[in-house]
Structure 1
């Protein structure tokens, strides 16, 4: 997880609350800054890859605040080995709160573009590590 900023410029200040890092695991609590928000998060699902089975990871993230500043997100990832030495990465995120609604109305959409940057950066980092 500490490598996130090396391939995703929108992640910074990553810290684990429970000393479980730097790898994600079930129940791990961490915080990071993304899109300018200091997000607290907890891993809700972590299934390592296994032969014939995709890896899954998901976390609930939140920013404390009132009705104007509160933010809740759920971010899930599916990472699957495919034939021909390929990998499929699927990700989905839900966001609730006024800050998320404001981001969603912004054109171009920074959340969609940011997540695309994250996937592309992750793919580039994986290819680089493989070489």
Structure 2
């Protein structure tokens, strides 16, 4: 199975917080899942913790390399720039990742994240959906200590909603 590609400074274990969520589901393909993730305006239809999605430049409605977009999640207004975008193809997983930030640079409430997704077809008509996020900043340190972990649970909700939406669309 494939792995997330981490940019310098965001490798898990060297950041303030890291979460990893994964599902493997039979009866779905990467091509059925991909459109629900690749178009951020669709996120609120299956993930209640996302809202007010919009593009900040002349891109969209689908993500693309270097697209600047905005959404709200976990109570944070997040600006994000897509740093990786590769649609799934035969023998190749779909990959999408963004650098997201909230707060003014250099401020104590600044949060920087790298959120990455990998969607790949597996043998037997199964799909693997992996999402991982590393975070830097005081808010990340606080989230890491929270029990239950809101990031872990929130991203699992995102995965579960994504799967249900893909199953309903197929």
User: What range describes the TM-score normalised by the shorter chain of this pair?
Assistant: over 0.9
User: Secondary structure in 2 aligned to 1:3?
Assistant: helix
CA RMSD, aligned part only? 1.0
Structure 2 segments unaligned to the other structure (5+ residues): 1-39
What do residues 22-64 of structure 1 show as CA deviations (whole Å, max 9, x unaligned)? 2111011001001010000000000111101101010000112
Structure 1 segments unaligned to the other structure (5+ residues): none
The answer on 1:101 being equivalent to 2:131 is: no
**2:33 is matched with which residue?**
none
2:54 is aligned, of 15, 27, 47, to: 15
User: Secondary structure in 2 aligned to 1:103?
Assistant: helix
Q: Structure 1 residue runs of 4+, over 3 Å off?
A: none
Correspondence list, 1:1-131, <5 A: 1-65=40-104, 66-130=106-170
TM-score by length of 2: 0.74
Higher relative contact order (CA 8 A, sep 6+): 2
| Number of aligned residue pairs | 130
Using the TM superposition, name which of 14-23 and 42-51 deviates more: 14-23
TM-score by length of 1: 0.95
